[in-house]
Chains A and B, each alone.
Chain A
Amino acid sequence: MQSGIEILVKLILVGCLLLAGVAAWVVPRTRLMRQRQVSERLFVATQVVGLACGALGLVLIFAWPLRALEWHLWELAVMPYALVYVYWIIIMRRARRLDVIDEKQGLDMASACGATMGLAILAMFVAHALYGRGLFDARLFYPYFLLTTILALSATTLAFFKRS
């Protein structure tokens, strides 16, 4: 039996994804948007949103694990990050090319991917250790992996980008 909150959250999630899909299809065909490259401000904002979404999602799945799963709260926490990337897709479609970030941003993201891989292995080790002691619900593995990856990728990308 689905609760009212669960239905509401599902409606919000599906509504956001549908609107984002329509926007990604329609906006590049109009003159509504002139941006043809991911600006420094958007790039930093993307990483800040990723940090906030990852941290909020992790707090939710550890503070209210059952509610976070049943009410899809962790998906709701990830939604802003997904919407920012839909905006990137809109820019790519408007520019008619994939390389809408500059070469340093690309290198920073590539370096961040490597660092994130190491951090994700560490995070999975922590989850495995907690699971062995009965402190971690197996259903949380996927959201935990996704959220730690988003958090680590955003944090390391921002760190590499701002290092200079």
Chain B
Amino acid sequence: MRLGNNLKRCRFDRDDISQEALAKAIGVTRQTIISIEKGHFVPSTLLALKLARFLGRPVEEVFFMVEEQPLASDEA
């Protein structure tokens, strides 16, 4: 199981705000936003809530759990 996110879509929905502007508003670096969007970095609960609040969405809409598909060899 991993954490997925709709951060990029939510950014576009909120006046097409840039990564830089979002990072500045939240108080993190642009690299952190890039990393979260790519799914390389899992934000803390506090940061996830800050992002959701800034984007005007419930946190479950911005972040969600993704079930990993078992490998075919595992099923056999």
The interface residues of chain B lying within 8 Å CB-to-CB of A43 are 29
The interface residues of chain B lying within 8 Å CB-to-CB of A103 are 28, 32, 43-44, 47
Shortest CB distance A40–B (Å): 4
Q: Which of B28, B34, B44 has the most CB of A within 10 A?
A: B28
Contacts A103-B44, A103-B47, A104-B41: A164 and B34 contacting too (C-beta < 8 A)? yes
| Nearest A-chain residue to B39, judged by Cβ | A164
Expressed in whole angstroms, the Cα–Cα distance for A13 and B30 within the complex equals 36
Interface of B is mostly: loop
| A 129-164 contacts with B by CB, 8 A | 161-164
- Kindly state whether residue B27 has any CB partner on chain A within 8 Å: yes
Q: Which of B29, B30, B40 has the most CB of A within 10 A?
A: B29
- Kindly state whether residue B31 has any CB partner on chain A within 8 Å: yes
Q: Which of A40, A105, A161 has the most CB of B within 10 A?
A: A40
Expressed in whole angstroms, the Cα–Cα distance for A108 and B42 within the complex equals 12
Expressed in whole angstroms, the Cα–Cα distance for A56 and B27 within the complex equals 34
Expressed in whole angstroms, the Cα–Cα distance for A102 and B50 within the complex equals 13
Expressed in whole angstroms, the Cα–Cα distance for A104 and B32 within the complex equals 6
Expressed in whole angstroms, the Cα–Cα distance for A105 and B31 within the complex equals 9
- Extra A-B contacts (12), CB below 8 Å, given A40-B29, A104-B29, A104-B35: A37-B27, A40-B30, A43-B29, A103-B43, A103-B47, A104-B31, A104-B32, A104-B41, A105-B29, A105-B32, A161-B31, A164-B34
Give the 7 A-B CB pairs with smallest separation, nearest first.
Answer: A164-B35, A102-B28, A40-B29, A104-B32, A164-B40, A104-B41, A164-B34
28 contacts between A and B (CB under 8 A): A39-B29, A40-B29, A40-B30, A40-B31, A43-B29, A102-B28, A102-B29, A102-B32, A103-B28, A103-B32, A103-B43, A103-B44, A104-B28, A104-B29, A104-B31, A104-B32, A104-B35, A104-B41, A105-B29, A105-B32, A107-B41, A161-B31, A162-B31, A163-B40, A164-B31, A164-B34, A164-B35, A164-B40
